[in-house]
């Protein structure tokens, strides 16, 4: 059963994609391109990232002539620290859906009044870094529930190195299965190879 089977698609134009990166540079390039496309379509943006990654993404945006600081001041762009936000969501030791609603759902719904929200997040990557794959998948499903109610185009980013061990390939397949599409870049040969290894069993929806 795919995400498209499980999620109520009456909420218009929601999509949930995942991409695995070999390097922070590749991540910054891909995420900046993803956000830039959203801006061209007039979509409000939310970024939940590590500060260092956000700095690199913002630098790419500025290189493209996109005034990220102005967008922050206008509220068109909202940026949250991934580690701080994840700590809030797991303050009881595990994911709290009520805190997710307060910290994530409410801001997304407020921004959705201005059009479909485009979001990038890497809290799940922090969980994968700790090998807390079940929690990462649970967080992905919370996002899926939100996407069923609010127009949302969400990109989740993972470091490919977390999935080098064959023991993690099942988790990689499950993570891919929690998304509508798996995106790849030619700049990430390790990620491409790992996706091929992981897809040797149930097929993945690669693009």
Domain at 12-161+174-190: CATH code: 3.40.50.300
Residue 66: pLDDT over 70: yes
Strand (E) or helix (H) holding 141: helix 133-147
- Region 159-166: mean pLDDT is 96
Strand order from edge to edge, sheet including 45-49: 77-81, 45-49, 117-121, 152-159, 15-21, 181-183
pLDDT for the residue 201: 58
pLDDT for the residue 113: 87
Share of the chain above pLDDT 90, in %: 85
Buried b (16+ CB within 10 A) or exposed e, 62-77: eeeebebeebeeeebb
Q: What is the pLDDT of residues 69-92, one digit of tens each?
A: 999 999 999 999 999 999 999 998
Q: At what angle do helices 169-177 and 189-198 cross, to 10 degrees?
A: 90
Q: How confident is the model at residue 9 (pLDDT cuts 50, 70, 90)?
A: very low
pLDDT for the residue 198: 86
Spans of all domains in the chain? 12-161+174-190
pLDDT for the residue 115: 86
Q: How confident is the model at residue 5 (pLDDT cuts 50, 70, 90)?
A: very low
Q: What is the pLDDT of residues 100-150, one digit of tens each?
A: 999 999 999 999 988 899 999 999 999 999 999 999 999 999 999 999 999
pLDDT for the residue 200: 67
Alpha-carbon distances, residue 25 vs 55, 88, 155 (angstroms):
11, 28, 17
User: What are the residue ranges of helices labelled H in 41-132?
Assistant: 51-63, 68-74, 82-89, 97-100, 106-112, 123-129
pLDDT, averaged across the chain:
90
Residue 205: pLDDT over 60: no
Q: How confident is the model at residue 10 (pLDDT cuts 50, 70, 90)?
A: very low
- Region 197-203: mean pLDDT is 69
Using CA atoms, how far apart are residues 68 and 90, in angstroms rounded to an integer? 29
The whole model's pTM is what? Answer: 0.89
Q: At what angle do helices 169-177 and 133-147 cross, to 10 degrees?
A: 10
């Amino acid at each position: 059963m795919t995400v498209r089977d499980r999620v109520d698609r009456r909420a218009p134009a929601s999509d949930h994609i995942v991409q695995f990166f070999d390097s922070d540079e590749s991540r910054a390039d891909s995420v900046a391109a993803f956000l830039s496309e959203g801006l061209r379509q007039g979509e409000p943006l939310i970024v939940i990232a590590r500060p260092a990654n956000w700095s690199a993404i913002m630098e790419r945006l500025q290189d493209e002539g996109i005034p990220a600081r102005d967008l922050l001041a206008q509220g068109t762009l909202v940026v949250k620290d991934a580690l701080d936000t994840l700590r809030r969501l797991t303050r009881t030791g595990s994911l709290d859906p009520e805190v997710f609603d307060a910290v994530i759902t409410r801001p997304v719904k407020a921004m959705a009044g201005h059009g479909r929200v485009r979001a990038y997040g890497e809290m799940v990557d922090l969980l994968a870094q700790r090998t807390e794959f079940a929690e990462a998948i649970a967080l992905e499903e919370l996002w899926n529930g939100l996407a069923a109610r609010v127009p949302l185009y969400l990109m989740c980013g993972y470091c490919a190195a977390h999935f080098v061990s064959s023991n993690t390939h099942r988790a990689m397949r499950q993570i891919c299965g929690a998304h509508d599409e798996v995106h790849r870049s030619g700049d990430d040969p390790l990620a491409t190879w790992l996706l091929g290894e992981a897809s040797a069993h149930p097929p993945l929806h690669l693009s």
